């Protein structure tokens, strides 16, 4: 179970200038938000969940084991902060979901027959390729 309020308190933010076109506004206002979450030093997540996070979010975690996200969708710093927090919580919840155990099932009789029939057809096709009746 996630303790969202406790996790949100452990987040660090940095406001940066957005990239791309935008004229004077984009050149002088830092609206892009970068979110940093130190997974290794988090007290609100247990070690088993930390390992799961490292495994599933390894492309978003740097060498110092800090998860990093950014948002520059809006021209408002506050909106970007809210968006990046929302995205972070969704990503974290998805990473911590336990995958369902796969139930092994027997293939149906018709699927077995279909497979064998297609194999036989392919074998006949290949056998008929090199028949030179001279």
| Cβ neighbours, 10 Å, residue 60 | 15
pTM exceeds cut of 0.85: no
Say if residues 37 and 61 touch (Cβ distance below 8 Å): no
Separation of first and last alpha carbons in the chain: 76
Do residues 12 and 36 touch, judged by C-beta distance below 8 A?
Answer: yes
- Which one, of 82, 48, 46, 84, lies nearest residue 67 by Cα? 84
Residue 26 is predicted with a pLDDT of 66
Q: pLDDT tier at 86 (50, 70, 90 boundaries)?
A: very high
pLDDT in tens, 50-83: 999 999 988 988 899 899 999 988 888 899 999 9
Distance CA 120, CA 124 (A): 6
Q: What is the pLDDT of residues 6-40, one digit of tens each?
A: 888 889 998 888 776 766 766 778 888 999 999 88
Domains of the chain by start residue, with CATH: 4-96 (3.30.160.20)
């Amino acid at each position: 179970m996630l303790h969202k309020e406790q996790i949100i308190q452990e987040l660090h933010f940095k406001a940066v200038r957005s990239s791309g076109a935008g004229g004077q506004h984009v050149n002088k206002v830092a609206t892009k938000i970068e979110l940093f979450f130190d997974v290794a030093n988090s007290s609100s997540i247990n070690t088993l969940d930390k390992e799961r996070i490292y495994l599933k979010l390894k492309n978003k975690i740097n060498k110092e084991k800090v998860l990093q996200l950014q948002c520059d969708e809006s021209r408002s710093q506050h909106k970007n902060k809210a968006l990046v927090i929302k995205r972070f919580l969704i990503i974290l919840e998805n990473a911590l979901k336990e995958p369902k155990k796969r139930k092994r099932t027997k293939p149906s009789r018709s699927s077995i027959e279909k497979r064998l029939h297609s194999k036989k057809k392919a074998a006949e096709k290949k056998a008929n390729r090199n028949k030179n009746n001279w």
